Amino acid sequence: IVSVSLGLVTKTIASWGSEEQKRAWLPRLTAGDALGCFGLTEPGTGSDAGNLSTKAVRDGASGDYVINGAKMFITNGTWADVVLLFARTNDTPGHRGVSAFLVPTDTPGLTRRTIHGKLGLRGQATAELVLDDVRVPASALLGPEGKGFSIAMSALAKGRMSVAAGCVGIAQAALDAAVAYAGEREQFGKSIAHYQLVQELISDISVDVDAARLLTWRVADLIDRGREFATAASKAKLFASEAAVRSANNALQVFGGYGYIDEYPVGKLLRDARVMTLYEGTSQIQKLIIGRAETGVSAF
């Protein structure tokens, strides 16, 4: 909730917004008086983010943009006050025709539907957005027309650091829970913390926590020093998200059958960790980014 609103949306407005847009949104978003959501993914478009079907057409008479389309799996979607929305503004194929807009969620024609039945993240509103002749002024355009894909990618690069940090939190919580339970649970006359195979599970979690944290700290340090960080962010996001899944799964194994019921937290940790390998770029997309950066081979 926080990383999407403050990271993907607010930081992007701070980087790309006009002075009018900054005055309108930054105070409210940074104070927590408003929430933002990031409208990129569509029902038929996930990893192929440059192939959007949502369209924003310029109305020559008024200069407004009229937007039609749909967005899917939008974090904060039903709670947000503003959507950082990406739509195609011309017929240029691929990412070159994409632009970014700031669309207040009370704009006529914008409807939102909560997505139910999620495996995890049940405390966070995930939504589908439908845009039916949504009219916004030209001043809603964020950055230059046609630069939306670049804006989205720059936002996601920093967002991946936030996802990695969240994954460190999941893995640390799994470690804390596993260590505490292993010290309390007794089998064969002593706590299960005495058994080497349980210690192996805990040691694997501990190493994953430290490695994920260090990779995430490296990205933060690169950003603070104004250095290139996109590939490091992909490495941190890839490793930390997979580590969070492994850590939660190993913790559940330490708990045994009790890990499979809601009385203990590790089942929730595993359910929440699983989506981390999917959003803000799947693990497979991160591997492509890293591989291309290491080899110098272009995307096409």
Residues catalogued as catalytic: 280
The CA R_g of the chain, rounded to the nearest whole Å, is: 21
Q: DSSP readout, the chain?
A: -HIIIIIIIIIHHHHH--HHHHHHHHHHHHHTSS-EEEE--BTTBSS-TT----EEEE-TTT--EEEEEEEEEEETTTT-SEEEEEEE-SS-SGGGGEEEEEEETTSTTEEEEEPP--SS-TTS-EEEEEEEEEEE-GGGEESSTT-HHHHHHHHHHHHHHHHHHHHHHHHHHHHHHHHHHHHH-EETTEEGGGSHHHHHHHHHHHHHHHHHHHHHHHHHHHHHTT---HHHHHHHHHHHHHHHHHHHHHHHHHHGGGGGSTTSTHHHHHHHHHGGGTTTS-HHHHHHHHHHHHH-----
Of 86, 207, 200, 204, the residue nearest 145 (C-alpha): 86
